[in-house]
Each structure stands twice: as C-alpha cells, then as structure tokens.
Amino acid sequence: MMDQPSILIIDENHARAAIIQDGLREAGHADVRWLSETGNLLKQIAEIDPDIIVIDLESPNRDVLEQMFQVSRLVKRPVAMFVDQSDSASIREAMMAGVSAYVVDGLRKDRVKHILDMCVQRFDVFSRLTEELHEAKTALADRKVIERAKGILMAAKSLSEQEAYVLMRKTAMDQKRRLVEIARAIVMAETMLK
C-alpha cells in the first residue's frame, strides 16, 4: 500500500473543509483534496481516486456515495469505516462530531485512525469557532438593542444615561428577566406607540 494515502474531503462547508485540509497537511498528509460540487460526484471521485473519503454527516449525498461504491467499477471500492466493529468508541466519537469516512480496503488501521482523529479534532474546532462567532454576533446585537432602549428612556423620562441604565437593570432584576429582554420590550413598545 502507498506511503501517502490520498484523502478526499466531501463537504459543502468551504470554511470547515479548509480547516480540515490545513490540519491534515500540517500532520504531514500531502495528498488532500476537497469536493463541494455534488453534481457528477462519481466522475470526480474516479478522477481523484482516493484511498480515504471523509464526508460530513449532514450531507444527504452519503446515500448517493454508498450506491456508487456498490455498483461502480470506476472507483476502487471503499467501504464504510463501520465495517470494522473493533473500534466502536472512536467511530461513535466521529459520528458525534459529525463526520464519517469510507476507506479503501488494505489501508493500515492505525493510519486510518490517525487521519480520522485529525478530522474529528478539526470538526470540533470548527464547531467551536461557529459557536463563538454566533455568540459574538448575538452579544453585539444585544448591545445595540440595549443602547437604543437607553436612548428611548432618556428622551421619554428626561433621564441621564446612567439613570436609564439603572432603571432597566432594576426592572430586569425585579422581573427576573434578562436585561436585553427588557430592552427589547422598550424598543417594541416605542415602535407600537409611534
């Protein structure tokens, strides 16, 4: 078997695919390719002729791939990593991270595990990044609403900025609600009363 297995990543998400590719290259895998175009999958896979295919579990194209492997004589027949039950823990881990792999028979097991572990790690990194980005976006949006509500209170009740803020925070604490919820209510009331 080849020293450098060729790895194909099938993922619709460009950013995630880039993160995985980088990770694999850093780990010394030179032959890493990526497909996002789903049309004519078989022809593209046949051209690349990979030893291991990594696919995102959210992709409905997994079912398409499975049939291709079943009937096609164009590609070497990769089998799902799930055929071998001996390493169920790492398979579960991969599935929970959202990744699955198909491996051409004959590839050394430790090598496959190394590649898969790397992909799982990178999938997790990506999920964390997406979460952080989402949190940052929400925080920014919340701050904007709070600023606007403060302005509304200042104008309506002739309060200072500090007083408006204290009033909102006290209301939030009394009602056991989040500050941003109170701010949203103020903004909404203002729009309706306009």
Partner 1 sequence: MTRNIRIGFIPLIDAAIPIAARECGFAEREGLQIDLVRETSWANIRDKLIHGLFDASHMLAPLAVATSLGVGNAKVPLAVPFGLNANGNCITLAARLYREVEEILGHPPQDPRQSAQALKRIIDRRKISGDPPITFGVVFAFSVHAIIVRHWLRLGGIDPFNDVQFQVVPPPFMVARLAEGEIEGCCVGEPWNSRAVESGVGSIVVFGSEISRCAPDKVLALRDETVTKDSESIHRLLRAYQAAARWCQDPGNHANLAHMLAQPEYLNVAPKTVLNALCGTLAVNRTESRSAADFLAFQGGDINWPDPRKARWLYAEIATGLRQTLDEAQAQAAAAVFRPDVFDAATGNNALPEAVDPIGLRFGPAFDAANLKAYADALTRG
Sites of contact with partner 1 (CB under 8 A): 39, 57-71, 79-80, 82-83, 85, 88, 91-92, 95-96, 100
Measured from the CB atom, is 17 or 145 closer to partner 1?
17
The rounded distance, in Å, linking the Cα atoms of 136 and 122 is: 21
The rounded distance, in Å, linking the Cα atoms of 57 and 190 is: 45
In whole angstroms, how close is the CB of 142 to partner 1 at the nearest point? 25
In whole angstroms, how close is the CB of 49 to partner 1 at the nearest point? 20
The rounded distance, in Å, linking the Cα atoms of 11 and 158 is: 55
Measured from the CB atom, is 105 or 132 closer to partner 1?
105
In whole angstroms, how close is the CB of 146 to partner 1 at the nearest point? 30
Q: Which of 8, 9, 22, 13 is nearest to 130 (CA)?
A: 13
Measured from the CB atom, is 69 or 123 closer to partner 1?
69
Measured from the CB atom, is 3 or 63 closer to partner 1?
63
- Using the 8-state DSSP alphabet, how is residue 13 labeled? -
Going by DSSP bridges, is the β-strand pair 99-104/78-80 parallel, antiparallel, or unpaired?
A: antiparallel
Beta bridge partners of 79: 103
In whole angstroms, how close is the CB of 42 to partner 1 at the nearest point? 9
Measured from the CB atom, is 57 or 156 closer to partner 1?
57
- Beta-carbon count within 10 A of 157 CB: 10
**Coil, strand, or helix at residue 64?**
helix
In whole angstroms, how close is the CB of 166 to partner 1 at the nearest point? 40
